[in-house]
Structure 1
C-alpha cells in the first residue's frame, strides 16, 4: 500500500498565510491638524479683536475682521488639500479590502471641510451685508432703489410740474366754449331736420 510522505499542513496556518497583512494609513496627523486648526481659528476670532483694540495705534475692528477673513480663506484651501490626501488614503483602504471602514468614514472624514466651507460662506455673506449697510442712504436714494433707479419718481415729478405750470381757464373763456358748443349742437340738429325732411319728400 502506498503511503504519502507529504506532511500535513495545519489549516489555521494556511488561512492565516492567505489573509492580507494589516494595513495602516497615515491619516491621524492630518485629522488632528484639521481639528486643532478649527479650534485655533475660533480662539483667534475671539482674541484678535480685543488685542487690536487694546494695543492702540488707531486700528479699527475691520482690521481684525480682514485678518480673520484671509486666515479663514487660507485655512479653507489647506483643508481642501488635506481632504484630497485623506480621500487618497481611504481609496487605498477600499482597494485593500477595508470596505466597511471606508463606508463608515466616507462622510465623517469630510466633516471639517463642511464646517470650514459653511463658515466661509457665512463670512462672505456678512461682509457683503456690512458693505451695503455701511453706505449712507438718504430717503431719496432708498425711494430711487425701490422704484427702479428713480425713473418712476422723475416721471411723476415732471407730470406734477406740468400740471402746476398749466394756467387755469377763466370763467369768461369757459362761457365762450360752452356757447360755441351749443351753436355746434344746434347746427347739427338743423342738419338732421333737413335730412329728415328730404327723406320724407323722397318717399
Structure 2
C-alpha cells in the first residue's frame, strides 16, 4: 500500500471517531427495577356510601386516612382516589374544581407525619370516571413498614361542600381518620374518634357517621 493511501485511511479513521464523539447522546440516570408483582392496597369497597367536598371556610382543610403496608415491601407506583359524582343541573355548566393529594409517613404517635412527596399532586377529575389513578413512580417512593397516610384537600373550594366529592365509606367502624385545618402556623392534625361520632349519632337518632377515605395504592411488591 502506498504511503499516501495509508495517510488517507488514517485521516478517515480519525474523522469518523471525532464525528461519533460529537454525536454521542447522554442519557439521564434512571432507576432500574426488576420485574415486580403489582398489588393494590387500601379500601376494598367498590362503591362509595357518600361523597365529601371542601369548604371555603377552611381553604387548606385536609382529611387523611391510613393505608397499612400489611407486611408488603416495594415501591409506590400509583395513588388511586375515588370520586363520588354528586351533581345538580347547575353543576353541568361549571368547571370542575381541582383536588390535591398528599402522602405522609406515620409518626411515632401513629398519626400523619413527614410528607413523602416534595409537593402535593394537583389534578381535576374527569367526568364519569370514578377511580382516578395518579402515576407517582418517578418519585421512587419505598412503601414504609408502617404504611402511609393518604390525604386530600380542596384548594379552590368556593362554597360549602363544593367538591370534587371524594368517596367515603363505612368500611371500617374502628379506623381513625384525621383532619388538618391549618388553623395556626404549626400543622395540627386532629384525630376524629369514630366511637364518639357513633354515640352522638345514636343519641340524636341520626345515621351512623363514618369517614373512611376511599383511597388506594398500587405497589410494585418485592
Specify which structure has the higher proportion of strand: 2
- In which range does the TM-score fall when normalised by the shorter chain? under 0.3
- Higher RCO by CA contacts (8 Å cutoff, separation 6 or greater): 2
With normalisation by structure 2, the TM-score equals 0.19
Specify which structure has the higher proportion of helix: 1
The structure whose Rg is larger is 1
